[in-house]
Amino acid sequence: MPSKFAFAKKDSPEGLCFSDNVNPEIAWKDIPSATRSLVLICRDRHVPVDLTKVNLPGVVIPKNALRRDFYHWVVADINPDIGRIPEGSVSKCVTVGGKRSQHHDGFIEGLNDYTEVLKGDQTMSGHYFGYDGPSPPSNDEKLHWYEFNLYALSVPSLNLPETFSAYDVIPLLQKHCLGSASIMTNYAYAP
102 — pLDDT class (breaks 50, 70, 90): confident
Provide the residue type at 79 as one letter.
N
Q: Please give the pLDDT value at position 11.
A: 86
Q: Please give the pLDDT value at position 189.
A: 84
Q: Specify if 98 maps to a domain.
A: yes
Counting the structural domains of the chain, the total is 1
Contact 94, 21 (CB under 8 A): yes
63 — pLDDT class (breaks 50, 70, 90): very high
Q: Please give the pLDDT value at position 110.
A: 97
Q: Please give the pLDDT value at position 17.
A: 92
Q: Specify if 15 maps to a domain.
A: no
Give the CATH number for residue 120: 3.90.280.10
* Chain-centroid distance, C-alpha 158: 19
Single out the residue of 101, 70, 82 nearest to residue 37, CA to CA: 82
Instruction: Identify the domain containing residue 114 by its residue range.
Output: 26-86+94-187
Q: Please give the pLDDT value at position 61.
A: 95
Provide the residue type at 54 as one letter.
V
Q: Please give the pLDDT value at position 94.
A: 95
Q: Specify if 8 maps to a domain.
A: no
Q: Specify if 5 maps to a domain.
A: no
Single out the residue of 139, 143, 145 nearest to residue 61, CA to CA: 139
3 state DSSP class of 153? strand
Q: Please give the pLDDT value at position 190.
A: 64
pTM assigned to the model:
0.95
DSSP 43-94: EEEEEES-GGGTT-TT--B-TTS-EEEEEEEEEEEE-GGG-EE-TTSS-BS-
Q: Please give the pLDDT value at position 191.
A: 54
Q: Which whole number is the average pLDDT over 25-42?
A: 97
23 — pLDDT class (breaks 50, 70, 90): very high
Q: Specify if 54 maps to a domain.
A: yes
pLDDT in tens, 138-187: 999 999 999 999 999 999 999 999 899 999 999 999 999 999 999 999 99
Residue bearing the bigger pLDDT, 113 or 55: 113
